Amino acid sequence: MATRRSSSKWKRHIIVQLQHRDRHQKLHFEGLILSYNQLLTKSDIVQLWRDKCDPHLPSAPSLSPEPVNVTKLQIRHQEKLNKLHQANGELAQEVFELSKHRKRKEVELQATQSRLSELEVKLGELEAKRGRLQARIDELEKANHGVKEEYDTLQQLYRAQWEQLRKKEVEGSELIQNMIDIKAQAAEDLNYLNEKLKRIKQKNLEKDLAVVSTVPIAMNTDVFRQVQELSTEESRHQETKSFKPFRNLRSASLSLSTQPRFLQSFKGLLRKRSSPSFSDFDCSPTSFRSVARVPARVRHSLEAHDGEVNAVKFSPNSRLLATGGSDRTVKLWDIVGGMLQKLKTLEGSNDGVTSIEFDPSGLQLLAGSYDNTARLWSLKDCELKCTLSGHSAKVTAAKFKFYYREAVTGSHDRTIRIWDLNNIACIKLISVPSRCSDIVCLDYFIISGHSDKKIRLWDSRAGMKSNEISLQGKVTSLDINSDRTQLLSCSRDDLLNVTDLRMNEIRQELRAEGFKCGADWTKAIFSPDGRYAIAGSSDGVLYVWDTLTGQLETSLVGQHRSSINAVSWSLSGEYVASVDRTKMANLWTDC
């Protein structure tokens, strides 16, 4: 039983192995068997063809029992042969093309490999260089860190020293002002003492004259005439010296004695009194103020610039006129015989000029520009000294500060900047709620006009707002009188306001039928004595108001045919200059 099981087991194993071989080997020989069968068929066809062509040749045994059409087989064979030849030619051409392409690729591959080797060498060099540079960067960063720490320390020290310097400057200015006040008080005290000495001498002289007048004497005509002439001459002399108590000497001389001794005494007394003394000179400080003359006609008119003229300003000595326009230049004009003669052109601005300001000495000129900067020129050599850059919008006003070597600029970027002209640096930034159109500088305060219809007063030392005045229109310009007590503002509601800075209230409203503010930068100014205010209208007419009464003084029609942008009144009170949008500048006088 065990023998049968073992024999059947190996038989089954053999059968399984044979089936497995048949399954796997049949796949490899199926193509061969098919090709062999086709070859047998072709062999039969060839044998038949040979038998037909040459019947004497021995025929091979037929492999196919079915009859074959030899002609069709020949045609089919020929077609296949032609197709094989055509395919062979195409394959040969393709092989040729592929061979050429392979050669080109081999050349490119060799070039690429050489380039790659070069780049690998260069990459190695660059890696080494990068390592050296990285080490250098690490060294520089360490050195930079040390320098930065030193810089921060120096910056803190600089700020502390700068604050001390500012405090010392303020203290120095206060000391100077105190010295000026002390000297003024000393001069007043000295004048009082001199006047006291005058009064004492006057009383003594009156006593002497009273004693002389009580002596009874006989009249002598010749002596009386001589004494009268002498007293008249002395009286005129005293009148020229504004010494009023001696105007009565003539009446007192009528009772003088004819005796030579009294006459000689009186002559000696007069000679002694007529000699000059220290009290005859005025030592008190005086302030000179020009009396403005209302303009009446155009003395000279010309095209000042190649485009719109935005600003005009007289120099402190009233002999020089500066104009600024959209042609990026500031022009200086000499006033000779009431005529404007071009003197110099100041260049350097990258855009149109918006404002012009002379310093009190008349040796420097500051101008704001549409290119977000302000520029300072020296008028000694007409060279650009510095550019104050930092604003992000156009600079509408640039003014010198009152006491220090500082300037103040206002801009449409809603900031006011205070500049140190020695170090060419911004030392204080004041953020304002609205676009700034114009500014005015006082001792320690800055007054600014804005597009939100407000005038604001700022403490320049603390950078804080101390007061505010509301108007009915956008503020276009500000100006302050010579006493620094009255503020003139022009606004887009066609109104000029005179504000009393001491009372912080509007004192006068200046309006006129026909006056229209032509632009957001139209300028209105005081006369040098503060008696008048002047502004140009959009129709080219110049209006002059009396600031005391608030009434219109006159309206002037000149050569302007468009809106007047700015006006300036010379400190001598003799000339008024006006500029407009059509390149024109007019010089006005009172006759």
Residue 369 to residue 409: CA distance in whole angstroms: 11
Residue 206: its pLDDT value, please?
72
Transcribe 457-497 into DSSP letters: EEETTTTEEEEEEE-SS-EEEEEE-TTS-EEEEEETTTEEE
Q: Is residue 282 exposed (0-12), middle (13-18) or buried (19+ Cβ within 10 Å)?
A: exposed
Number of H helices, E strands in the chain: 5, 28
d(C-alpha 398, C-alpha 396), whole Å: 7
pLDDT at residue number 502: 86
Q: Position of tokens 């009148």?
A: 239
- pTM of the full predicted structure? 0.53
* Cα angle, residue 513 at apex, residues 512 and 519 outer, rounded to 5°: 75
pLDDT for the residue numbered 5: 66
Closest alpha carbon to 326 in 347, 346, 309, 344? 309
What's the pLDDT score for residue 554? Answer: 94
Please state, in angstroms and rounded to a whole number, the distance separating the CA atoms of residues 62 and 4.
50
CA 483, chain centre distance (Å): 30
All structural domains of the chain with their residue ranges = 2-68, 189-280, 297-589
Residues 162 and 353: their CA atoms lie apart, in Å, by: 33
In Å, the largest CA–CA distance within the chain is: 209
Q: Are 395 and 409 in contact (CB under 8 A)?
A: yes
CA distances, 159 to each of 153, 163, 170, 201 (Å): 10, 6, 16, 62
- Going 28 to 32 to 33 to 34, the CA torsion angle's sign is positive
3-state secondary structure of 472: coil
Q: What integer pLDDT is reported at residue 4 of this predicted model?
A: 62
Distance CA 433, CA 415 (A): 8
Write out the chain's pLDDT in tens, 591 residues: 556 666 678 888 888 888 777 777 766 667 777 777 788 888 778 777 776 665 554 554 544 445 446 787 778 878 888 888 888 888 888 888 888 888 889 999 999 999 999 999 999 999 999 999 999 999 999 999 999 899 888 988 888 888 888 788 788 878 887 888 788 888 878 887 878 777 787 777 776 666 544 444 344 444 444 444 544 444 444 444 333 333 333 333 333 333 444 444 434 444 443 333 323 323 333 334 567 889 999 999 999 999 999 999 999 999 999 999 999 999 999 998 889 999 999 999 999 999 999 998 889 999 999 999 999 999 988 899 999 999 999 999 999 986 558 999 999 999 999 999 988 999 999 999 999 999 999 878 899 999 999 999 998 887 788 889 999 999 999 999 988 899 999 999 999 999 998 888 899 999 999 999 999 999 999 999 999 999 999 999 999 999 999 999 999 998 898 999 999 999 988 999 999 999 999 999 987
CATH class of 297-589: mainly beta
Beta bridge partners of 336: 339
Sequence-separated (6 or more) residues with CB below 8 Å from residue 12: none
Provide the β-strand partners of residue 576: 569, 588
C-alpha dihedral (385, 391, 397, 398), degrees to nearest 10:
-30
Q: What are phi and psi of 34, to 5 degrees?
A: -60, -45
CA angle 144, 150, 154 (to 5 degrees): 135
pLDDT value at residue 6: 67
